[in-house]
Amino acid sequence: MKHTQSKVWDPLVRVGHWTLAAAFTAAYLSGDDSQPLHLYAGYALLGIVLVRLIWGLVGTPPARFASFVRPWQDVRSHLRAVARLSPPVHPGHNPAGGWMVVILLTALLATALTGVAAYGEGGGILGTGLTGLGHDAKEGLEEVHELLAGFTLFLVFIHMGGVLVESLLTGENLPKGMVTGRRNLTNSTTR
C-alpha cells in the first residue's frame, strides 16, 4: 500500500496548537492567582484562542471550521467505525476530532475569561474594569474558573486519548503530523 504524504496543517495551526498546550499547562500547574506565571499564561492562552478563532474563519482551508465541523451523524458514524476498529483516515480532523476542537476552544475561552474576570483586578491588564466586583461575586467567579479549568483538563485527556486511539487504529502518528504539518493520506475520505 502506497502512502501519500500531504501538507495539511499550516504553521499557525501547528505553533498555535503547541503554544496553547504549553500555556494551558503552565496556567494549570501555576494555578495560584497570585502567581505572575498564572496570569501571563492565562493571557497568552486567551490571545492564542482568539487568534485560532479568527484563523478558523479566514485561515487556510484545513484550518477553517467549515472544513472540519461535520454534522452529528458524521460524528456518530465515525465513532461507530472506531468501535469496529476501522476508522477512515480524514485529510484533516476526523468528525469527532473536529467537534473536540470546538469544545476545547470553547472551554479554554470560558476558562480564560472567567480567570480575567476573577483575577484580573489583581494586576491583570484586562481586568482593571472589574475593580467594583463584590467579594461574593469574585469568589463565585474564582470557583467557576477553577471548575472550568478542571473540566478543560478532562477534555485535554479525552483529546489525547482520542489521538492515541486514532493513531493506533490508522497506523498514522497524528502528533507527528501536528509537528511537521504533513499527514499520510492513504485511503483518506474526501472530507
Tens-digit pLDDT profile for residues 51-63: 999 999 999 999 9
The pLDDT value given to residue 131? 54
- Fold classification of 9-184 is Fumarate Reductase Cytochrome B subunit (1.20.950)
The pLDDT value given to residue 135? 74
The residue whose grid cell reads 493520506 is 185
Between the CA of residue 63 and those of 18, 47, 50, 141, 181, what are the distances in Å?
15, 17, 14, 32, 12
Q: How far apart, in whole angstroms, are the C-alpha atoms of residue 118 and residue 106?
A: 18
Q: How far apart, in whole angstroms, are the C-alpha atoms of residue 170 and residue 186?
A: 10
> Whole-model pTM?
0.88
The three cell numbers of residue 93 are 480532523
Q: Which residues of the chain have pLDDT under 70?
A: 1-4, 32-34, 120-133, 185-191
- Name 64's Cβ contacts closer than 8 Å, sequence gap at least 6: 56, 57, 58
The pLDDT value given to residue 190? 44
